[in-house]
Structure 1
Amino acid sequence: MAWNEPGGNSNNQDPWGGRRGGNGGGRQGPPDLDEALRKLQNKLNRLFGGKRRPDSGGSGQSSGGGTGLILIGLALLFGLWLYNAFYVVDEQEQAVILRFGKYYETVGPGLNIYFPPMDRKFQENVTRERAYSKQGQMLTQDENIVEVPLTVQYKITDLESFVLNVDQPEVSLQHATESALRHVAGSTTMDQLLTSGREQVANEVRERLQRFLDNYKTGITVTQVNIQSAAAPREVQEAFDDVIRAREDEQRERNQAETYANGVIPEARGQAQRILEEANGYREEVIARAQGEADRFNKLVAEYEKAPQVTRERLYLDAIQEVLSQSSKVLITGEAGQNNLLYLPLDKMIQSRAASASETPSSNGSSDAASTSVRTLPQLPEVRTRESR
C-alpha cells in the first residue's frame, strides 16, 4: 500500500521520514528556494529600514524590499561609472575628449577624469612608429608588369586631426599609398625599379604620400618608405630572366668596345701628334738652313769683294774637300812626265775619322777633317778623279 493512501500510513510520514502538516517532530524536507530568497530580502529590508512583508504562511514580513534593491543597484552603477571615469595617460600617449560629440580638449600624460556618456575619450600612442605593408603588381613606364613589395612606417603627430578629420585614417593611408605607388611606378622604367633606382622611387613615393595625407589632414606623418626587391610576376619570370641576361650581354659588349676604343684612340692621337711635331720640326729645320745659307752667301759676297783671289781659292778648296769626302778612291799624279800613282784608302780613313768623331763633338771632328784636307791638298801638284781623266 502506498504511503499517501488513506489509512495506509498511520504516522502520515513522507518517504524521507518527515511528517506532513506539523511543525515539530521528525526530520524536515529540503529547504525551499523561495523561502530562502524571502529571508535574504527581509534582512536587506531591515538593513535599509524597509517594511516587512508577510510570508506564505501568513506571518508578517517586510514590504519595502524593492526600494533597497534599487538603491543597491544605483550604488553599484555609480561605483562602476566612477571606476571607468578615471583613466591614466602614459608618457607616450595623448587623449582627445569629445563632449556631446564636439572637440573639448587634448589631455597629456597623467591621471585624468571624464564624464561618460556625455564625454567620449580617444587615447592613442603618438610616439610609436607603426608599419603598413603592401604588395601589388604595377605597370611601369616601359609597359612592363612588376610586383613591388612596399613597407610604410608612420606615426601620429596630430591626434586631434587623426580623430576628427578623417573616418578611419589608417584605411585612408592604405588607399593613398597605393595611389602614390602606382603614380610613381607608372613614370619609372623597369630597370630603375629593379636596380639602383629603388631608393629614388621610395623617396618619391614618400613625398607624394605625405602630400596626400597633408591634404586630407589625417594627422599622420610618414617617416620612411622601403621598397624591397621588386620582381616580375612568376608567369613571365623565365622570359624576364632572358631579357635581363640579354641586357647584361649588351652591357658587357659595350664595355669591351669602350675599353678597346680607349686603348686605340689615344695611341692614334699620339701618333698623329708625333707626325705633326716631326713635320713642324722639319719645316723649322729647312727654314733655318735656308736662312743660314742666305746669311752665309751674303757674308761671302762681302768677303769676296774685299779679296777676290783668296776667296776663290778658299771656295775651290772647300769644293774639293766636299767631293773627296764622298769618294772612296782617289788617284794622285806627280809632276808632268811622271806616271806615279798613289792610292789613298779614303774609305778607311773616313770610317776611322767617323769613329773618332763619335767620341768627340761632331763639330770639332768635321773642323779637324777639313783642316787636315786643307793642309795636305795644296802640297799636291794636281788632283784629279778617275772620271775627270
Structure 2
Amino acid sequence: MSEKQFEINIDPDWVKKYLSKIILGLVVVIMVFSAIKTVGPEEEGVVIQLGEYNRTVSPGLNFIIPFVETMYKIPVQRQLKLEFGFRSTSSSNGQSQYVKSGYIDESMMLTGDLNLTDVEWVVQYRIVDSYKYLFKVRNAEKTLNDMSESAMRKIVGDRTVNEVLTVGRQEIATSVEVLLQEMCDEYENGIRVDQVVLQDVNPPEPVKPSFNAVNEAQQERETLINQAEADYNRIIPRARGEAEETIQLAEAYALTRVNGARGEAERFNSIFNAYIKSPEVTKQRIYLETLEKVLPKIGNKIITDEKGSNVLPLLNLNKAAATTP
C-alpha cells in the first residue's frame, strides 16, 4: 500500500468550532463539581470568600462559588485525641499498634523532688466553635499539643515522684484537664477538653526495678492495713456485742433477785401485820398452808385419835397398803 491511502483531510474550521465547545463543556463540568461540596454528618462547613469568613453551613449538600469561595470541613461532632510519649497506629488487620520509640522527649519530665519520670498521656477533646478554631489561633491543633505538654510538665513539676507514680495519678490528670481548659478559654481556640488520661507512668529504665520494688512494698503494706482493718471491724463489734449481752444478763439477774427479795420482804411484812392483828387466826392459817404444801409429798397418811390406845388397827397397815390399787 502507498502512504497516500492513509492521509486524512481535517478541516481547520471544523476543529476550531468544536474544540472551543469541548473546552467550554469541560470548564462547566469542572465548575459544577467544584461548586458542590458534601459535608459529613459529624462535620460543619466553614466557607471562606476571598480570604474572609463568609458563613457556616450544616451537614449535607452545599454549594459554593468556584474559584471565589473555599470550604473547610471541621469535625465538630467527633471526639479527637492527642497522644503524648507514644503513638498508636492501626495495622492492616485492624489492630492497634503501640509505638514508643522517637517520642521519649515528650514524656520524660522532671518532678518537684528533682527526679525523672516517664509520663504517657492522652488528651481527648472536641471542637465546639469552628470559627474560633480556624481564625482565633494559627494551627489550633499544634497549639493545643504545646499547651498540653506545658500543662502536664507544670503539674508534674509541683509533685514528688512517688505521688506521680502511685497515689497522685488521678489528681494529676484532673488538674491538667482543668488547667488545659483554662488555657483553651484564654486562647479562644474553640476547643473543649473532655478528658485527660494518664496512659502509663514509669520511672526511667535504669531505676525501674528499684521503683517497682518500692511499689510492691507499698501495695503489700496497704494490703496488710486493709486486712487488719477488716479483722478489727469483725472482732471488735462482736466482742462489744458479747460484752453488752453479758451486762444485760447480769442486770436482768440482779433485777430479778432484787424484785424477788422485795416481794418476799413485802409478803413477810404482810403476814407479820396480819399476825399482829390476830395471832391465833394467822398461826392457824400458816399451819394449814404448811400442811397443804407438805401433805401432797407424803405417800400414805395415817390419822389416829390421840386418845386411842388400841394398837390392833395398826397391825394390818402393810396388808392394806399392798391391796390398795
What band does the TM-score fall into relative to the shorter chain? Answer: 0.5 to 0.7
Equivalent position of 2:269 in the other structure:
298
> 1:76-111 deviations in whole A, cap 9, x for unaligned?
xxx7xx979945432135244253x55444566534
In structure 1, C-alpha distance between the alignment counterparts of 2:115 and 2:259, rounded to whole Å: 72
> 1:41-98 deviations in whole A, cap 9, x for unaligned?
xxx9xx99xxxxxxxxxxxxxxxxxxxxxxxxxx9xxx7xx97994543213524425
Distance 1:378 1:207, change over 3 A: farther
Equivalent position of 1:3 in the other structure:
none
Shift of 1:188: 6.7
- Structure 1 or 2, whichever has the larger Rg, is 1
Equivalent position of 1:89 in the other structure:
37
Shift of 1:250: 1.2
**Any conservation in 2 of the 1:140–1:185 contact (CA below 8 Å)?**
yes
**Any conservation in 1 of the 2:108–2:117 contact (CA below 8 Å)?**
yes
The yes-or-no answer on 1:131 pairing with 2:102 is no
**Any conservation in 2 of the 1:176–1:212 contact (CA below 8 Å)?**
yes
Q: In structure 1, the residue corresponding to 2:82 is in which secondary structure?
A: strand
Matches for 1:42-121 after TM superposition, within 5 Å: 86=34, 88-92=36-40, 94-97=45-48, 99=50, 102-106=52-56, 109-113=61-65, 115=67, 121=70
**Any conservation in 1 of the 2:166–2:215 contact (CA below 8 Å)?**
no
Matches for 1:300-315 after TM superposition, within 5 Å: 300-309=271-280, 311=282
Q: In structure 2, the residue corresponding to 1:228 is in which secondary structure?
A: strand
**Any conservation in 2 of the 1:97–1:107 contact (CA below 8 Å)?**
no
Matches for 1:261-280 after TM superposition, within 5 Å: 261-280=232-251
> TM-score under structure 2 normalisation?
0.59
> TM-score under structure 1 normalisation?
0.51
In structure 1, C-alpha distance between the alignment counterparts of 2:135 and 2:129, rounded to whole Å: 10
> 1:7-31 deviations in whole A, cap 9, x for unaligned?
xxxxxxxxxxxxxxxxxxxxxxxxx
Equivalent position of 2:255 in the other structure:
284
Runs of 5+ unmatched residues, structure 2: 1-11, 17-22, 86-106, 307-325
Q: In structure 2, the residue corresponding to 1:132 is in which secondary structure?
A: strand
The number of aligned residues is 256
Shift of 1:159: 3.2
Q: In structure 1, the residue corresponding to 2:108 is in which secondary structure?
A: strand
Q: In structure 2, the residue corresponding to 1:167 is in which secondary structure?
A: coil
Shift of 1:237: 0.9
**1:97 counterpart letter in structure 2:** I
**1:268 counterpart letter in structure 2:** A
Q: In structure 1, the residue corresponding to 2:138 is in which secondary structure?
A: coil
**Any conservation in 2 of the 1:206–1:225 contact (CA below 8 Å)?**
yes
| Identity within the alignment, % | 31
Of structures 1 and 2, the one scoring higher in RCO (CA 8 A, sep 6+) is: 2
Runs of 5+ unmatched residues, structure 1: 1-43, 49-74, 322-365, 382-389
Shift of 1:216: 0.8
Distance 1:269 1:86, change over 3 A: closer
